[in-house]
Structure 1
């Protein structure tokens, strides 16, 4: 029987710090490292448009982050949008964690299966509820 070696957040951060992952766009999901697919123009448009909508409606009552990492138990996904507590200065030394997050948004077209089968359970385990 084969055994899959899973990466911890510390392992992943050491790889980033050492430069091993410099030439790759990746995210850690449940201890596995996945390459992030480049965005199509429609995906970028939808994400930017929705983020602007949230910013207008929230009027600085929460911080809207676009395509930025969040840190969860054994994952550092990069949701298309995360609405979190605070501001940029609160995340100078760390990424937002589950307790900082009000909402994550994944915009899916070609990534729908990955978002539903891989990311949704990670968000649920972290306590980020589905709305």
Structure 2
């Protein structure tokens, strides 16, 4: 039988809706089946389905990364990354270390590169997501701007941002974290 419950909160100390641990337990229990969601500062945020251009760019770049990285890392798409105890981001493409866990959210230490594909999400990808990934210590972050046909490659996270940013046009070479190069989109 269900009984009413009261949750006491101190308004002077607002708490997030959910912690990363609670979010992961809900995810593992199937609460988000058929949905793409992230946890952002304690709030569960539904992500919009992507258009074909987003999917094509995601697949093309993931395939190029897979060919270049080989046995040095693992490539995944739509991968959960634990950014903080209140934020879990779902990255479009991740290059992770070989020993990264396969059946749980990745930590920043597992991640070598995060790529976000932006068709309608450029402001978010260069704003809140950039700050989250930098704060978590993600060393390399790329934002693929489909409309502008450029890829912003960032490295050296510092104070919620990145110290080094290079803009690469589609068709030009990208430098991977280990120094190898691939042709971008």
TM range (shorter): 0.7 to 0.9
Contact 1:30 1:122 (8 Å CA) reproduced: no
Q: What's the CA shift string for 1:92-117, capped at 9, x where partnerless?
A: 44222100111000010101112122
For structure 1, list consecutive stretches of 5 or more residues without a partner in the other structure. none
**Aligned counterpart, 2:80:** 69
How large is the RMSD of aligned CA atoms in angstroms? 2.2
**Aligned counterpart, 1:113:** 123
- What is the CA-CA distance between 1:20 and the residue it aligns to? 3.7
Taking the aligned partners of 1:27 and 1:57, their CA distance within structure 2 comes to 29
Contact 1:29 1:122 (8 Å CA) reproduced: no
Give the TM-score taking structure 1 as reference length: 0.84
4+ residue runs over 4 A deviation: none
For structure 2, list consecutive stretches of 5 or more residues without a partner in the other structure. 1-10, 140-153, 156-185
Give yes or no for the alignment of 1:82 onto 2:97. no
Single out whichever of 69-78 and 106-115 deviates more from structure 2: 69-78
Taking the aligned partners of 2:52 and 2:87, their CA distance within structure 1 comes to 27
**Aligned counterpart, 2:151:** none
Taking the aligned partners of 1:93 and 1:55, their CA distance within structure 2 comes to 19
Q: Hey, which of these two has a bigger chunk of helix by percent?
A: 1
Give the TM-score taking structure 2 as reference length: 0.62
Q: Which protein is bigger by CA-based radius of gyration?
A: 2
Taking the aligned partners of 2:111 and 2:122, their CA distance within structure 1 comes to 22
Taking the aligned partners of 2:76 and 2:36, their CA distance within structure 1 comes to 18
Q: Hey, which of these two has a bigger chunk of strand by percent?
A: 2
43, 46, 56: which one pairs with 2:57? 46
Contact 2:108 2:138 (8 Å CA) reproduced: yes
Taking the aligned partners of 1:94 and 1:40, their CA distance within structure 2 comes to 27
Single out whichever of 49-58 and 93-102 deviates more from structure 2: 93-102
Q: Which has the higher contact order (CA 8 A, sep 6+)?
A: 1
